[in-house]
Amino acid sequence: MEPHVVVIGAGFGGLNAAKALARRPVRVTVLDRHNYHLFQPLLYQVATATLSPGDVASPIRWILRGAPNVRVLLGEAVSVDTAGRRVRLEDGSLLDYDFLIVATGSSHTYFGNDQWAPCAPGLKTLEDALEIRRRILLAFERAERETDQARRQELLTFVLVGGGPTGVELAGTLGEIARQTLRHEFRSIDPRRARIVLVEAGPAILPSFPRNLREAARTALHRLGVDVREGTAVTAIDQHGVTLGRERLAAGTVLWTAGVTASPLVRTLGAPLDRPGRVVVAPDLSVPGHPEVFVVGDAAAVLDRHGRPLPGVAPVAIQQARHAARTVLNRLRGRPGAAFVYRDKGNLAIIGRGAAIADLGWIRFSGVFAWLFWLFLHIVELIGFRSRLVVLVQWAVAYVTFQRSVRLITNVGRSDRSEPS
Amino acid sequence: MEPHVVVIGAGFGGLNAAKALARRPVRVTVLDRHNYHLFQPLLYQVATATLSPGDVASPIRWILRGAPNVRVLLGEAVSVDTAGRRVRLEDGSLLDYDFLIVATGSSHTYFGNDQWAPCAPGLKTLEDALEIRRRILLAFERAERETDQARRQELLTFVLVGGGPTGVELAGTLGEIARQTLRHEFRSIDPRRARIVLVEAGPAILPSFPRNLREAARTALHRLGVDVREGTAVTAIDQHGVTLGRERLAAGTVLWTAGVTASPLVRTLGAPLDRPGRVVVAPDLSVPGHPEVFVVGDAAAVLDRHGRPLPGVAPVAIQQARHAARTVLNRLRGRPGAAFVYRDKGNLAIIGRGAAIADLGWIRFSGVFAWLFWLFLHIVELIGFRSRLVVLVQWAVAYVTFQRSVRLITNVGRSDRSEPS
């Protein structure tokens, strides 16, 4: 029987590992706890009611349907027995492997303040996005019914903790929702009076970008009415707002986009981890002492040639996954593995309609051009023909009409009530 | 101040009442426990992964944004004080009215067997549709992981209780999913071996249609592999299947489309109710003794000229809502209200791709023509420009490729796990 490669996780890493192994002389099993691949870069658009969950997610089986040597299993890996070469699933069953590619990604962390989680949800999963959408829309609905002025302004205040790309995207889009989308729909409140505060503990938002592009992003955010607070640490969060050192900010909605930590599964590999919990892998991305086990994407700590860790973005995960798959096939042919080298094609961030920044190394630009470039790249990359077409239509309509059509407050839990208060 | 009309519910009835009162000399408040209007006739397509929730729902505020005299409130009415002319909301607040239009619709009923509810969800809300989608998709996923043959066949058996239009739609679409959509995606099971059973306690499915059209529907269902059991009552349901008199049917998924009952709010009106809990209204749709209170849609019991109750379909609710709104405006001008007369434009049911039946009174037809007619009508009726366009694209892609793109098992509840077992 052909060697068995188990791939854990079907994000950008896992999916590309499986694709690189399709129709090759191996048996592949892709394990994921969801039945879909999530196109993370557009997840904030689900959270802000522009896209539906189905527009940013495709069934893993469907993506891999053409590869007869690839099997897809819905299930969750709870631990890896590297000595016995097997993965334990949530129901206790075991999956033997000859090679293992771990691509389980990361989740958000509250840096030891887990009590903040219910007050300030993060954005990693589809469920997170729907919960954030629900909170944003409910805040305006409750403000419309509220008669107390102070409480109304609290409901109309939104705080985003963390000035990375996700925080900037969410802040910009929230500005658009308040100023454009909802403008004519309320009778007691003026949605344009909503206050949006982006808080960054470090000295500047978007730290991975050069100074002039950061400045362009700041200007675009101000134009959307976003209050940007840099060098400001959040010291407490509760359900009525945040504390910033000595200042208290009453806010009905707080969103968390500040920190990530590697998936807990990698702790069971018995390999050295860095501070955010990522596996410190060998140059060929294998686990030290286990040449048959690879870690790729957000769960791996890999340094660039300047000694800085590679960012947790899709291109890194995709290139690493292809490298790991190639190394597996080389080993089977008795060839040695090579060291992984990241080809950085650039850095992009979107602020809102017509506003983005792009740093391609040889050229830096911002504004409408950067935004069109962002749009083009993301449509091309979106997996699945149908998604691409539908997303295009939806965006076209959204940008022409200022509408956000997926403004549904859907309830979580099997209940007929939408819990309006 | 202008008279205040409160409309409870923003389904087909409530929404059309509000539209008929827009820009008229009244103040209108529309109260709904959801922030969206749901296009019920396409809800089964959400349950069967063809459409996203956002494709069949539009924010009520957005639909009514152009009417400055209409206010939309997210909230739930818990009782009506007809003597004091006010509505009590879930938070205890009161809403005074001069006129009241109750359009709260219906929900499903288990005819006294409420213990069946967790084993056999019904299809009324978006949450219901997502739960049904989740169960259908999880059944195939679990079957793929299952090694025991009997248990695997149980997981691949789907029972639909109730042979009305919804049961027929779901059964037909499930047949397509098993035979077409999932055909190439599993490695351990053959989805085409799924068993779909449609159980109807009455003598025939689709009882509101003439005999020859029912026969056409039966033939179309058989072609899709659906086992139709008429004159068969379900006597028990548990999580491993159903009992049909002496026969036991092991089934992993049971769906309930059998019975409806009027919304409980109407019990607080103090008016006479019929057996399914609907208000027996006066000929002008007002509540006997309260000419300022109207009940329209599924919550009202209105007889046609043959003495049979009007069906719980959108055209009835829409026509009644317009009639009630007209009567309110007439009363304000001192004119008397007229009796409501339903204009029946026909009866349609869809079985699957290219298969439907249509009874327009003067003509009856089935097959591809009836299906195209159904498609045309539903696209035209879908509220909101964007939905229409996106749904069209999605259907076009779905019908060309046999794909169902919204096959996401999303979790209910804020959790990162999709509960695979």
Contact assignment for B127 to A58 by CB distance below 8 Å: no
Average pLDDT value for residue range A160-181 = 94
Query: Within its chain, how far is the Cα of B57 from the centroid?
Result: 12
CATH fold of B4-33+75-108+260-332 reads FAD/NAD(P)-binding domain (3.50.50)
Q: How confident is the model at residue A51, as a pLDDT?
A: 84
Average pLDDT value for residue range B154-182 = 95
Chain segment B201-225, per-residue pLDDT in tens? 999 999 999 999 999 999 999 999 9
Question: If you measure CA to CA, which chain A residue comes closest to B140?
Answer: A74
Under the banding of pLDDT at 50, 70 and 90, the label for residue B421 is very low
Under the banding of pLDDT at 50, 70 and 90, the label for residue A404 is low
Of the residues A108, A146, A187, the best mutation for testing chain B's interface (the one with the most B CB atoms within 10 Å of its CB) is A187
Question: If you measure CA to CA, which chain B residue comes closest to A400?
Answer: B386
Chain A residues near residue B58 by CB distance under 8 angstroms: 405
Strand partners, A160: A198, A255
Chain segment A338-367, per-residue pLDDT in tens? 999 999 989 999 998 889 999 998 999 999
The pTM of this model reads 0.91
| Residue A408 confidence (pLDDT) above 80 | no
Mean pLDDT score across all residues of chain A: 91
Give span(s): CATH 3.50.50.100, chain A.
114-258
Are A27 and A5 in contact by the 8 Å Cβ rule? The answer is yes
Average pLDDT value for residue range B149-173 = 96
Under the banding of pLDDT at 50, 70 and 90, the label for residue B330 is very high
- Our answer to whether residue B169 is catalytic in this structure is yes
Q: How confident is the model at residue B119, as a pLDDT?
A: 96
Burial pattern A278-304, b for ≥16 Cβ within 10 A else e, equals bbebbebbbbeebbbbbbbbbbbbbee
* Distance of residue A296 Cα from the nearest chain B Cα, in angstroms: 21
Q: How confident is the model at residue A180, as a pLDDT?
A: 87
Closest CA to B406 of B38, B35, B42: B42
Tell me how crowded residue B328 is: count the other CB atoms within 10 A of its CB. Answer: 26
Q: Which range is most confident: A318-332, A394-408, B168-182?
A: A318-332
Chain segment A264-288, per-residue pLDDT in tens? 999 999 999 999 999 999 999 999 9
B114-258 placed in CATH 3.40.250.10: no
Q: How confident is the model at residue A288, as a pLDDT?
A: 95
Give span(s): CATH 3.50.50.60, chain A.
4-33+75-108+260-332
Contact assignment for B386 to A403 by CB distance below 8 Å: yes
Strand partners, A228: A198
- Percentage of residues in chain A having pLDDT higher than 70: 93
| β-strands B77-81, A70-74 pairing | unpaired
| Residue A229 confidence (pLDDT) above 60 | yes
Question: If you measure CA to CA, which chain B residue comes closest to A127?
Answer: B414
Chain segment B357-392, per-residue pLDDT in tens? 999 989 999 999 999 898 888 877 776 655 666 777
Mean pLDDT score across all residues of chain B: 91
Q: ipTM beyond 0.90?
A: no
Which of B127, B385, B387 is closest, CB to CB, to A410? B127
- Out of A146, A154, A169, A176, the active site residue is A169
- Out of B146, B169, B176, B200, the active site residue is B169
Of the residues A45, A135, A390, the best mutation for testing chain B's interface (the one with the most B CB atoms within 10 Å of its CB) is A390
Under the banding of pLDDT at 50, 70 and 90, the label for residue B60 is very high
Q: How confident is the model at residue A1, as a pLDDT?
A: 86
| Residue A95 confidence (pLDDT) above 80 | yes
* Distance of residue B63 Cα from the nearest chain A Cα, in angstroms: 9
Better-predicted residue by pLDDT, B81 or B56: B81
* Distance of residue B255 Cα from the nearest chain A Cα, in angstroms: 15
